[in-house]
Structure 1
Amino acid sequence: MKKTLFICAVFFMTAASTFAQNLNSYKYVVVPNRFEFLKESNQYQLNELTKFLFEKYNFKAFFNDEEISEEFGSNRCSMLYADVIDNSGLFSTKLQLILRDCNNKQVFVSEEGTSKIKEFKKAYHEALREVFESVEALNYAYVKETIPEVVEQLPEKNEVAVAVANEEKMQVVDSEKPAAKEVPSKKETAPLNSGKKVASAGKTNFEYEGNSFYLLKSNEGFKFYQEGMAEPFAALIASGREGNFIYSSIGSQGTAYFGKEGNLVVEFLNSDKTSVVSKKYVLKD
């Protein structure tokens, strides 16, 4: 059990570090004056509390109906757009925070905050403050240079992916450099090589428990879809370690990687946060 909990801790330390790097490149957060599950603007003072908590953890936040001054600039893509969703059940209030970029892509999903208080306002406030523990853990600090650094790394990854996928190019290298004969053995033993081939494809199909899924490339890594669904149910965000990704869905966060046969392995904590759930999505030809 201790070993399992240690592995889980490593997963989420890595996830928190990656999300921090992603969020540090954004300067502002836009908070709506009404969340969808509320009947009126700033009901229960929940929107004001959301703005306050963002500012508490070093973000510059403003409401979407505020007049944007020159201080905020005109670049929408320097801003994050906040949303709080209500996952409440019969006996408890549950809230979750989602941050999206200017292209409506999720860049952060918090852990759920819960409360068993019966009074709505107190319950929502308690749950929201627990939600922001995930934000506090990021240790957010705006860094202007973050985005250029990520962009500079992408061509290098693409070159590696093309080099592995292009068999003709490998044959030329083999003929010119005898030392490169070691490449086939690396290809057989390295568990991430098939992942590079997946990374070079536009759409990659998988199967899990009789259902069909597919990956589409995105700026952050991949979007994960179930066949027949218009919206992705999860995202694979590049972690900075080649072939490894942060797995993020509304219900869970964890890690993902490609096995040597091209299968996608996703690992995350179960709902009780006591053990790791591992799912293997089998690559389809």
Structure 2
Amino acid sequence: MKKISVLMLMMGSSLIFGQKVSDYKYVLIPEKFETFKSNSYGLEAHLTNALKAKNYVVLPSGIDQWPSEARDNSCNIVNAEVLNDKSLFTNKVILQFKDCHKKVILESKGRSDIKDFEEGLGNALKQALLKVAPSNPVNILPASTTTTTAPTTAPTTAATNTAQSTHSAVSTATPVSTSANYSDGKTDLQKIQIDSNQFILAKSGSSVPFAIFKSTSKKEVFLVKLADGNTTIGYYENGNIVIDRPQADGRYTKEVFNGK
């Protein structure tokens, strides 16, 4: 009973205080900050070095190079972004950190009166980083996969019947390919399961997903967000992954990625 009370207290504290950037170990920084149209003046490198100095692990651009803790559960990663907030005579930036649900968990502003863009923006970012505490991860989440643990005691009759029903349902379900690698003959992709309702296809060496798949109400049919911003549908067919890719004339072409 005491253990349950302690657990409930911990859960309540988490809800009250929320998550902090320092709770994370892994940080993902984009290759280029989007709001700096032509030149980001090395801010990506500035931020990378500053966060490493605060004991964060900055992830490389290629997903296949990520540690398993980050690759297997995107909620172990905090996403960093620097926004250009400059005015006519002042270099200003906004430093944001977002969780895996794209919720901003920290926003910090920095400014500098130094007129030189590279030096001034770097100085503004340095000020914004003052609010970022050193990494002190409290909990690394497990891989987003469902596992079944054998019971330590004999199951009840009801539990046995439920297990038998579940086993029958699984036996009659359409098999889904468990291959982690797919290809259409031109592009090689890796399937990364985010959770039971979501997975991504990613090119080797790229941090940008080729496509993000989310479950729909229909079995083995997915809502797909493509890298170009378009949304379409995808589905399993004979163990392969199929994407209906929209074309400029309003038609759709069928892209088939075979399991390797």
Which bracket does the TM-score occupy, shorter chain normalised? 0.3 to 0.5
- Determine which structure has the larger helix proportion and give its number: 1
TM-score where L is the length of structure 1: 0.40
Q: What TM-score comes out, normalization by structure 2 length?
A: 0.43
